[in-house]
Structure 1
Amino acid sequence: MMAGMRIRIDAVDLPGRTCPAPADGNGPVFANIHVAVQRRDRPAELLEPQPGDAVSATWTLECTATASPDGIDVTGPYVQDRLGRRFIYLSWGTVDDSGVFTMFRRAKLMIDAIPADVLAAAARDGLLVGRLGLTDAGGNPLCARVLPPHITWIAEPAGQGGPSLSHEDTIPPR
């Protein structure tokens, strides 16, 4: 069975518009940083870049949920697929005076780490919501693999505000 589903990413605690050089001083300082969802196999195609000093950022992705023997398989234009692992890239980059985005790091929101009951409820009800903070423990843009408890996934009925199933209904701490 295949069903249309949306994934909404609700992000708070953005790190600001600058990212300092590493503590050892070996590396650049990044300025005018933005974050966006990267399209699958098209790193230059970004969905709704948001400034790094925004109060919050939200992206909504259209996708398809398909029942398989291993659970729910999620596919879509912004769902990455590497070696059978599904995830969503949040790309961090600088934006120059002409508006060109140059990526310097990414965070991977791991779909295969979503609890199976939450993913099944989202496939049934039409909306999967991921809530996370985008600043790491060092005050820099969150990067690498993002797994619970650093992201909280809940299922909500499409077009409604209340959760139908949640493992934890809070924005995870840094």
Structure 2
Amino acid sequence: MSYPRPSLSDVRIRLEGHDLPGARAGSSALRLANVHVGVQRKAVAELLVPAWAPSATWDLTVDAREVDDLLDVGGPWVHGRPGARFLYLTWGNVVGDTFEMFRRAKLMFGDVPTAVLREAYEGKVLIGSLGLTDAHGDPVCARVRPEWSVG
């Protein structure tokens, strides 16, 4: 017996970063001179924004499908196994044409409220807003929790 494959739908995501570490008063311009942040697509950081920019916005599209009444996301921007999917914001030094990653921040899809993710699946844009500087004035890393909404 064959079962129908769940159909895939596009979910549009906009990540809105503010308070970048290089733009903060008192940041060491030399230390962050070539630091950029981007979204990791497979193993490569893309859509790079300098750490001294006033803000950063990334627009992505991921695949989503319904599995047993739950939404699962995938595609080249998405990392992790089912039930633990996430996006990476990747920080690195740009040297010539090379991006030398030194830190990443993980944005877990499990932190998106179910109703918000469902609205995005049904056609709205999933918006994640987050500060990009930690309490020590450095680029955020580890697990971060944006404020999620739809627009």
- Normalised by the size of structure 2, how large is the TM-score? 0.84
Q: Contact between 1:91 and 1:106, CA under 8 Å: does it hold in 2?
A: yes
The equivalent residue for 2:18 is 12
The equivalent residue for 1:171 is none
Q: Contact between 2:83 and 2:110, CA under 8 Å: does it hold in 1?
A: no
The equivalent residue for 1:164 is none
Q: In the TM superposition, what whole-angstrom CA distance separates every residue of 1:16-44 from its partner, at most 9, and x where no partner exists?
A: 18x87xxxxxxxx564110000112x2xx
Q: Contact between 2:89 and 2:106, CA under 8 Å: does it hold in 1?
A: yes
Unaligned runs of 5+ in 1: 21-28, 157-174
Q: Contact between 2:13 and 2:60, CA under 8 Å: does it hold in 1?
A: yes
Counterpart among 117, 139, 147 of residue 152 in structure 1? 147
Greater relative CO (CA pairs within 8 A, separation 6+)? 2
- Cα distance in 2 for partners of 1:15, 1:99 equals 22
- Cα distance in 1 for partners of 2:113, 2:67 equals 15
- The Cα of 1:77 is off from its aligned counterpart by 1.1
C-alpha RMSD of matched pairs (Å): 2.1
Change (3 A) 1:30 1:11: closer
Q: In the TM superposition, what whole-angstrom CA distance separates every residue of 1:52-99 from its partner, at most 9, and x where no partner exists?
A: 000111111111121122621111210112474100000000112x23
Q: In the TM superposition, what whole-angstrom CA distance separates every residue of 1:98-150 from its partner, at most 9, and x where no partner exists?
A: 23110001000111111101000110024211111100111100000012xxx
Identity %: 46
Amino acid at match of 1:49: L
- For this pair of structures, how many residues does the alignment match? 141
Unaligned runs of 5+ in 2: 1-6
Amino acid at match of 2:11: M
Q: How is 1:112-127 mapped onto 2 (pairs within 5 angstroms)?
A: 112-127=110-125
The equivalent residue for 1:172 is none
- Normalised by the size of structure 1, how large is the TM-score? 0.74
Q: How is 1:49-88 mapped onto 2 (pairs within 5 angstroms)?
A: 49-69=48-68, 71-82=70-81, 84-88=83-87
Q: Does 1:37 align with 2:33?
A: no
- Cα distance in 2 for partners of 1:128, 1:83 equals 19
